Amino acid sequence: MQSASSMRGIIDYSSDFLFLHGPGLAISLKEQSSLFEDAVDVIFEIRINSYVPQRQTIDNCLGTTHRIIKWLAAENYELKAVSLPHMPLVSIKEYQRFFGAPILINQNRAALHLSRHTLDSQPHSTNPALREIAEDYIHRYFRNPAEKVSANVRKALRLHLSTPRANKIHVASMLALHPRTLQRKLAQEGASFDAIKDDIRKELSSQYLWQTDISMSQLTDILEFSEQPTLSRATKRWFELPPKQLRQQKGKLEPLISNKLNK
């Protein structure tokens, strides 16, 4: 991160390699802020099955990222606001003092809202040679060669599903493979990129519908569907019911859905 060519590169590295520190943590970049013009959203999520996100974990992730980006961006750092998906643990004034920015509570997602100028600026410590060495080291020593390619693709897609990076070219790059090589290796394992992506959407749809109160438009965005009717058609194909009905009949349908998820 310290040797990235831009602040955008720092966030990209964080997004790609955060799993080395915490497999259930995901960070993504939304190029156009949902709340501010000329700003971007750095979004945090906790993605672990049967897990209710804890406020302390979210706050720690936001606070740590704020400090790191502020240090690397130096005078180019401009934080417009911080979104919390919960009520603060302490006084809002304490959060405002720490972040030096307005705090927005009970939002859809945890996020830092950064000025686009910050994203496009250059870190004060960039080092292209060191960056290449670090990338090579990570790809060489932090991938399990005994693990199936399909398992690695699943990990990558689960972390990046709601971002523009959930595509074959980017995932192949993360695994240090050419896209055609990735496709061939998946075929050898009896899998395909699209089938794995569909399966993850299937898992996450039931998880979000049963464990959260997010709206259908939010779920459509998280699962990277273009529109809500597409989400509805998908849940009917997976579970024979539209999403709202799945949420309403959770208790009755849970054993049936569990069987369908395991197929």
Mean pLDDT across the stretch 105-125? 88
Q: Is 165 helix (H, G, I), strand (E, B) or coil?
A: coil
Q: Which of 33-37, 59-63, 136-140 has the highest mean pLDDT?
A: 59-63
Q: 213 - beta bridge partners? A: none
- Tell me the whole-structure pTM to 2 decimals: 0.58
Mean pLDDT across the stretch 221-226? 87
Q: How far apart are CA 206 and CA 189, in angstroms?
A: 26
How confident is residue 50, by pLDDT bands cut at 50, 70 and 90? very low
Q: Is the pLDDT of residue 3 over 80?
A: no
Q: Is the pLDDT of residue 94 over 70?
A: yes
Give the model's pLDDT for residue 14: 81
State the CB neighbour count (10 A cutoff) for residue 93: 10
User: Tokens 């799993």 correspond to what residue?
Assistant: 19
Q: CA-CA distances (angstroms) from residue 215 to 26, 108, 109, 205, 210?
A: 20, 9, 12, 12, 12
Q: Is the pLDDT of residue 66 over 90?
A: yes
